[in-house]
Structure 1
Amino acid sequence: MLTPQEIEIRIKEWESQTTEFKREFSTDPIRQTMVAFANDYSEAGGGVIIIGVDPDTRSVVGLKGDPEETLRRITGLCRDGSIVPTIAPEIYHLNVAGKTVAVVEIKRSERRPHRANNICYIRIGPTTRKATPDEEFEIIRRSGRFPFDMMPVREATVEDLNLLKFEQEFLPKRVSSETLAANQRSPVEWAEHLKFLVREGEKLVPTVAAILLFGKNPQAFLPHSSIDFIRFEGDDPSYPIVDRKEITGTIDEQIKTVVEIVEHYMVRSYRFSQKSPVRTDIVEYPLRAVREAVANAVMHRDYEISRTNVSIKMFDDRLEVLSPGGLYGIVTKENFGTGVNDYRNPTLAVNLNLLGLVEKAGTGIFLIRRQMRENGSSDPVFEIGDRYLLVKLPAHPYYLGVRLYQKGLVALEQGNRDEAANLFKKSAEIAPHFPEVWAAIGRMEGLYGDIEEARRAFQRAIEENPQFEKAYLEWGKIEDQAGNTVKSQEIFRQGTQAIPDSSDIWYAWALLEEKLRNWRKALGLLRKAVSLQPNDPRVLRKLGNIAFRLRELDEARDCLRKALQYVENDKEKGKIFFELMKVLIEQRASREEIEECFHSAYSLNFRPQELFYRYHRYLTNRGEHAAALEVLELARREGIHITPALPELYIGNLPTEVPKKRLIKEVKELFRKAGIEVTKIYIHPSRGFGFVTITSEADVEKAISSLNRTVLLGRAIVVDRKR
C-alpha cells in the first residue's frame, strides 16, 4: 500500500510507465489500464492508477461522492467478466492533501496475457494501447505458460486449413474493415499474424486452435475432438437407444449441429394454460441454455491429455453434457459459477465469443441458470469431478407429461389399452394443464369405458383450452357413436361458437347432419366450412355431393370442379370426376364435357360398375348405340357385367286424380295397342308425369309419333324421349 507521501511524489513525477492519473472514475479507460499493467509488457512489475487527480492541473481534486462506492465500482470491473482472465488488484483510498483519492495497485500477473472485452492492452511509456498479435504472443512467451490451443500441430500444413472460412467468416469479426482494406495481407499472412500459424524454419504450422476452428478435417489430427450424442428412450441408460451420432467437424459446426439435433428431439408446438392466460412461451429446453452448455463443454475441455469426446446424453427428463478435463486454473468447486473464470483454451474462448457462440467471460453459467428459470424449468445441476464437469439440464416438467402422453399414444396404437390408460393418467398428474392428455382420456373412456368419465375428461380439456379444436371434434364423434346425436350436435355447436373459424368443426357437424338426413342443414354448414377453407378438396367435394342431392346443380358442378384443382390423390380425383359426370348428365351438359369426365375417372383407375353403367345409360338415351356398346365392352374387359340400358320415354300431362295402379294399367294398355312392349312403368304419385321403359330403340320414334297427344282418361298426354 502506498503512503500519501509516495502519492505526492508520483504526482510530481507525473504519468509514466507505471503510473496513471484519473480525475474521476471512468469505466473503459480504467479497465484497459488495469489490463495493461497486469500484462506488464515493459517488465516494470505492474503499475498504479490514482483516481481523484486532475490531469490538466496536476492537482488533487478528490473523489466525488462516497469513496467506498468508487472502490465498489472498480472491484466490479474486475469481476463482471469483461477482463479475462480475472485480475485481483489492491484497491483502497487515501487522504492526500486533505482530499480522498482512490488507489488501484496492479502487479504483473502470472496469468498474463489478460484481455478487456476480448482486446489485449499494453502500457508503453505513459500510454495504454491495444497490443499487436506479435506483442501479445511475446507476453505469452514471457509468461512461460503457452496454452495447449496455441501449440503447433506439426503433422498439419496450411493446406489442412479452410482458409476461405477463415477469410469470410472469422477475419471480418476479428479485424476492422478499414484495417483489412489498408493492410492487403493474404489470408495466410493474416493467419500467421494472428498466431493461427506458427513459423518453424521455412514451414508454417497450424496451431491447435486453427485446426479446431478452421481445419478441413480436425479429427484427423485431434481424434478426440468430436461430440458423442445419444438419445435414450427413457430416463436412464438402461432404456433403448433411439439415436446415436458422433458429431465431427470444426467446433463451431459441432455446437450448431448439436443444438439442431436437440431441437429435433424436443417436444414442440404444445400450449399449456393456467386457466388464463394460455402460455405459449415455454419449451422443453431453452435453446440458448443448450447452446451455452455445449459451447462451454467444447471450449473448456482438455484437448491435451484426455482421450474422451465431449458426451451429450438426452433422456426423457433431462439433457446431460459432459466435458472431459474438469475445472481449470483458479476456478474451484467453491467459486464455480460466481463469475470467477480461467481458460484452459483462451484462443478458442475468444474466437467462439467472436463467432457469437458463447457469452462473454464469466457469464455463461449465469445465462444457463437464468434461461432455465425464465422458462419455468428446474435449476440446472453442475456435477464437478476431478477430471470432468457434468451439466444436467432438467426438462420442463410439463414436457415430462407430454412424453408420457406420447408413449400412451404409441401403446394405444399397439393395442395396449391398460398401459396407455396408465400413461395418460400419469401424464395428467404431471401436466394437469395439458389439454391433449384430457382429450386422450376422454377418447379412451368414450370408446372402452364410461361415457360420463369421457364427458368429464373432454370438459376438462376444453376448460384448459377453450379453443382446443380436437376436444370438440373427438367429443362430438364419441357422443355420435354412443347414439347421443342431440348431445353431439350440441358439442359441435359449442365448438363453432368457441372457434368460429374452425372449418373442421363445421365440417364434422355437417357430416352428422348428413347422417341424420338433414340435407339442407348439412348444406348450410358445408357452405360455412368452405368459406373458411375454400381450397380444401375434402370439404368442396362433400358440398358438391350434398348440393347435387338437393338439385343445386350449378353449385354442385362448381364445387366439384374446384375440388379437382386441389386434390392430389389420384383415386380421390377419379371419384370426383365420376361425381362431376353425374352432375353434368343431369345438367344436360355437352357430350365432350361428360365424355372427358368418364375417361378421366377411367384413366385414374377409378372403375366401379356404376361409372360404366351411368355413362352407358347416358349414351343409350342419346341414341348413340355404337358408343354405348363400346362402353359395355370396356366394362367387360374390366370383369364388370352391365345389363344394357333400355330406352326410356317421358310421359306427361297425366291425370293426377286417377289412382296410380289404374293409371299404370291404362298406360300399359295404350302401349300394347300401339304394338310396343313395355318392361317398366314409373308414375309420380302427385305431379302427373312418369317414365316408360321399352325394349327397343326402334320403338322410340314409333311411340312418339303414334302416342304423343293421344287422349288418355280425358287428357291429351305428352310422349317424348327422356332427357
Structure 2
Amino acid sequence: MFHSVTELIEKIILGEDTTIEFKRVMPHRDSLADEIAAFANAQGGTILIGIDDNKEIVGLEQQELDRVEKMVVEICTDSIKPAVDFFTEKLRIDDKNILKTEVPRSLFVHRSPNGYFTRRGSSKIELPPDQLARLMQRRSQARIIRFDEQLVPNTHKGTLRESHYRRFIKEDVSEEDIEDLLLKRTLLVQEGREIRASVAGVLMCHDTPDDYLYNSFIQAVYYSSKVKDANYQIDAKDFRGPLDQQIIDAYQFVQKHNKVSARKEVGRIDQPQYSMRAIFEAIVNAVVHRDYSKGESKIRLFMFADRLELYSPGALANTVTIEKLPYSQATRNELLARLLSEITLDEVVENQVKRRHFLDGRGEGVGIILNESEELSGKTPLYELHNEELCLTIFAAESL
C-alpha cells in the first residue's frame, strides 16, 4: 500500500484515517482482531504498531517486535473467521522499530471476536444488520443468495404480468406448467408453501417495479446550464416500467436532447454531442450493476450543457476497482444479466447501437463507452465512486 518508507512517513504525519491505524503498543488480542477485520470488511488498510495517536514514533524493543509479529499472525489465522489475508513488515524509522501490518480489501465478510466490524473515518464500527446483509450480498459469499434471486414480500404469481414473463418462456406450454417454468427461471421463488416473485421477476415482469422495490426506477433531468439549477431545467422524467423499458426510455430521453452540429465541406458533416451507442451501454451497465438492495436512491441521469452524469447506487462488486472496469466482467445481478441478454431490441435501436440484444455478455460495454465518447469529445469519460454510488461522466463534444 506504500511504495517507500518516505511515503509511509508522509502518511504518518497526516495522521489516522479510513486507511491507517496507529497503536503505541500491542493492544488486547480481541481488540486488534476487530481492527484487522474492520479493514478487511472495508477497503483495506494498514496498522502500525509502535506509533501513538499523536503521530509520535515510540518504537518497540526488538524482543517485543518479534512477539507482536507472532501475535498478529495468530490473530489473522485463528481469531478471525474466515481467516484474513495480511502482510507484515518490520521497519526501522528514526532508529526505532515498528511493525507494519497491511490488510487488503477482502472478497469475504469477516467475523472477529466481538462481531462484524468495518472502518468509518479513523475508527472501527460494528456493522448494523442491514449494512451487514448488504455487505454479504455484495461480496457474494456462497451461503448468501444473490439479491436479484431473493423473494419480494407481499408478492405472488399474479404480480408478474403474462405479457412480460412470456418473453422468457420459449416453449409452448400449458397454463399449469407455467408456474414450474417461472420457478426454474427464478422469476418466482418458493417460500414454504407460498410462491413469491423474485427481485428479478418484479424488475423485469411487473409494470411498475417501484411498487415493491422502492426507488427501482430511472430519473432523468436535462438542464441547459452547466449546473443543477431549476431555472434552467428544460425537461425531467421518471421512467418506472420494467427494466428493459426503462433502458429504452432513458436512451430516448438522451437522444431527444442530444444536440447535433453540422458543417458543410465537400459534403455535410454531422456531429452529435454524444455517441448514442456509448449512451446505451452506459444505461444498460447502470441498470444491470446497480445494487437493488439499496432503496435510498434511484438511478439518476443528468444532462448539462457540457456533460452527462449517470449515477448508479452501489459500490463496485467484489474486487473490481475503477482502474479494472474496462477489463472486468464481474456482474452483481447475474439473473438480471441473463434475462436482458434474451430480449431483442427493435430494429431501429439495434441499428443505432450495433447489437441485437440488450446485453451481449462479451464485457465490451465500458470499452465502447470510453472509446466512442473520447473519439467524439476528445475527453475520456470519468468513473468515480461517491460513497457507495458509481458516477459516470461523459463529456459533450463541442459544436463544429
Where on the TM-score scale, by shorter chain, does this alignment land: which range?
A: 0.5 to 0.7
8 A Cα contact 1:358 1:364, kept in partner: no
8 A Cα contact 1:292 1:359, kept in partner: no
SS in 2 for 1:209: helix
Aligned twin of 1:310 = 299
Distance in 1 of aligned mates of 2:176 and 2:159: 20
Q: Does 1:349 align with 2:337?
A: yes
Q: What is the Cα deviation at residue 165 of structure 1?
A: 1.8
Aligned twin of 1:297 = 286
Aligned twin of 2:160 = 161
Aligned twin of 1:209 = 200
Q: Does 1:187 align with 2:183?
A: no
Aligned twin of 1:220 = 211
Distance 1:354 1:242, change over 3 A: same
Number of positions where the alignment pairs a residue of Structure 1 with one of Structure 2: 249
8 A Cα contact 2:223 2:234, kept in partner: yes
Once the two structures are superposed, the pairs formed by residues 310-459 of structure 1 within 5 Å of their partners are: 310-337=299-326, 339-355=327-343, 356-375=357-376, 378-398=379-399, 431=400
Distance 1:323 1:363, change over 3 A: same
Once the two structures are superposed, the pairs formed by residues 677-696 of structure 1 within 5 Å of their partners are: none
Distance 1:183 1:330, change over 3 A: farther
Q: What is the Cα deviation at residue 372 of structure 1?
A: 1.9
Gaps of 5+ in 2: 1-106, 109-139, 344-356
- The code of the aligned residue for 2:315 comes to G
SS in 2 for 1:294: helix
Distance in 2 of aligned mates of 1:397 and 1:251: 32
8 A Cα contact 1:380 1:394, kept in partner: yes
Cα offsets for 1:343-377 (capped at 9, x unmatched): 22111122222222234243210111232245455
Q: What is the Cα deviation at residue 196 of structure 1?
A: 1.3
Identity %: 24
Distance in 2 of aligned mates of 1:306 and 1:343: 19
- The code of the aligned residue for 1:288 comes to R
Q: What is the Cα deviation at residue 206 of structure 1?
A: 0.7
Aligned twin of 2:226 = 235
Aligned twin of 2:239 = 247
Distance 1:319 1:376, change over 3 A: closer
Name the structure with the higher helix share.
1
- The code of the aligned residue for 2:283 comes to V
8 A Cα contact 1:247 1:257, kept in partner: yes
Q: Does 1:271 align with 2:262?
A: yes
Aligned twin of 2:169 = 171
8 A Cα contact 2:164 2:206, kept in partner: no
Cα offsets for 1:12-45 (capped at 9, x unmatched): xxxxxxxxxxxxxxxxxxxxxxxxxxxxxxxxxx
Cα offsets for 1:453-481 (capped at 9, x unmatched): xxxxxxxxxxxxxxxxxxxxxxxxxxxxx
SS in 2 for 1:271: strand
Q: What is the Cα deviation at residue 153 of structure 1?
A: 0.6
Cα offsets for 1:623-644 (capped at 9, x unmatched): xxxxxxxxxxxxxxxxxxxxxx
Aligned twin of 2:148 = 149
| Deviates further, 324-333 or 376-385 | 376-385
Q: What is the Cα deviation at residue 299 of structure 1?
A: 1.2
Distance in 2 of aligned mates of 1:142 and 1:265: 42
8 A Cα contact 2:377 2:396, kept in partner: no
SS in 2 for 1:389: strand
Q: What is the Cα deviation at residue 244 of structure 1?
A: 1.9
Q: Does 1:262 align with 2:249?
A: no
Q: What is the Cα deviation at residue 320 of structure 1?
A: 0.8
8 A Cα contact 2:160 2:206, kept in partner: yes
Please, what TM-score do these two structures have when normalized by structure 2? 0.57
8 A Cα contact 1:380 1:393, kept in partner: yes
Aligned twin of 2:26 = none
Please, what TM-score do these two structures have when normalized by structure 1? 0.33
Distance in 2 of aligned mates of 1:203 and 1:305: 25
Aligned twin of 1:199 = 190
Query: What root-mean-square deviation, in Å, do the aligned CA atoms of Structure 1 and Structure 2 show?
Result: 2.5
SS in 2 for 1:327: coil
Distance in 2 of aligned mates of 1:265 and 1:186: 46
